[in-house]
Amino acid sequence: MDLSCIIQSGDLELYVMGMLPPEEAAKVETLAQLFPEIQEELNAIAQTFEAGALQAAITPSASVKEKVMASLSAQSSDSNNIPAAKVVEMKMEAVAAPVRSFSKLAIAASWGLLILLGGLSAYLYNNNSKLKTDVATLQQSSAAYEEQMAGLTKKISSYETYRRLKSDPSLTSVALASVKPEVQQQAEVFWNRATGELFIDPSSLPQVPAGKQYQLWFLIDGKPTDAGMISLTDLSTIQKMKECRGAQMFAITLEDEGGKPTPDLNALVVAGKVG
């Protein structure tokens, strides 16, 4: 896998500096988990900033540490007051203070116990439902992550196929351009003249309307022969087409689903001559 285009894009640097938008940052994170080379590059970039920071270190005044540690203590004693315990204490005091008789005390105590139990069960119930929500959230994010991974893996494998086809000397690549000069639609065909093997990369073609489908043709002396239908399910991957021999030109038409035995010139989308 050639990762140099990702490494050289400058995106990894932006990621470490926190300058990438969230969706792009998530992509970098996924790539880093897939490829150790990316992770290494990210580490080297981060280490550069860390080395810069260490080189420029300035010792703070002693009082700063005291202030920091004091504010931590203040915060943690705040959070030690758990609401459930507080409720019980207050009720006990309020009821117990004005009465002396044993039975009233006993009643008060059992009220206290009841409130305590109530508080405890409410606390446990809340905790339990929070855990359930946490688990659900975790499951959801892991599903989203897997989906993203699958999409990415597919993209990478399609990119790899493209690179392999493009660099294969036995294949002739033919760019198919739009018939209208102002429209920037195109596709690329890879053809092995010797074996007749034929591939198409339709990823830059526009989405087809419902009920329609792209059909590939090859032409010899102006006479078109069907080279197969382009799969609708995945326009982003490279597809293998019918065997083709002696082609002088390739063309794609937009036909009704299933295709036609002969093309309609009005339905022509892109075309290209074999160089």
Partner 1 sequence: MLFTEELFTTATYNETDLVYRLNNGDQQAMSELYDRFSGALLGVIMKIITDQATAEDVLQETMVKIWNNISSFDTSKGRLFTWMINIARNQSIDKTRSKSFKNTSQNSSLEDSVYVSETIPAAGASADTLDVKNWLLHLPEENRKLMRMAYFMGYTQEEISKELNIPLGTVKTKIRNSLIVLRKKLNVT
Give yes or no for a contact between 115 and 91, defined as CB atoms under 8 angstroms apart: yes
Using CB under 8 A as the binding rule, whether residue 128 contacts partner 1 is answered as: no
Tell the smallest beta-carbon distance from residue 133 to partner 1 (Å): 17
Tell the smallest beta-carbon distance from residue 49 to partner 1 (Å): 6
For partner 1, which residue of 6, 14, 96, 156 counts as binding (CB under 8 A)? 14
Scanning 28-36, 103-111, 241-249, 260-268 for contacts with partner 1 by CB under 8 A, the matching segment is: 28-36
Q: Which is nearer to partner 1, 71 or 236 (CB)?
A: 71
How many residues touch partner 1 under the rule CB under 8 A: the total is: 44
DSSP reduced 3-state for 216: strand
Tell the smallest beta-carbon distance from residue 219 to partner 1 (Å): 39
Give yes or no for a contact between 32 and 38, defined as CB atoms under 8 angstroms apart: yes
Tell the smallest beta-carbon distance from residue 62 to partner 1 (Å): 11
In whole angstroms, give the CA distance from residue 137 to residue 131.
Answer: 10
Q: Which is nearer to partner 1, 9 or 121 (CB)?
A: 9
Tell the smallest beta-carbon distance from residue 12 to partner 1 (Å): 8
CB within 8 Å of 161: residues ≥ 6 apart: 237, 238
For partner 1, which residue of 3, 34, 46, 96 counts as binding (CB under 8 A)? 46
Longest Cα–Cα distance in the chain: 115
Q: Which is nearer to partner 1, 152 or 249 (CB)?
A: 152
DSSP reduced 3-state for 253: strand
Tell the smallest beta-carbon distance from residue 13 to partner 1 (Å): 5
Sign of CA dihedral 56, 57, 63, 69: positive
The partner residues of 270 in beta bridges, in order of sequence, read: 178, 252
In the numeric block, which tokens belong to residue 189?
Answer: 């065909």
How does strand 172-178 pair with strand 268-273? antiparallel
Q: Is 12 exposed, middle or buried (0-12, 13-18, 19+ CB in 10 A)?
A: buried
In whole angstroms, give the CA distance from residue 104 to residue 85.
Answer: 22
Per CB under 8 A, which of residues 55..94 are in contact with partner 1?
55-61, 64-65, 67-69, 71-73, 75-76
Tell the smallest beta-carbon distance from residue 179 to partner 1 (Å): 31
Q: Which is nearer to partner 1, 133 or 170 (CB)?
A: 133
What is the contact surface with partner 1 in residues (CB under 8 A)? 8-11, 13-14, 16-19, 29, 32-33, 39, 42-61, 64-65, 67-69, 71-73, 75-76
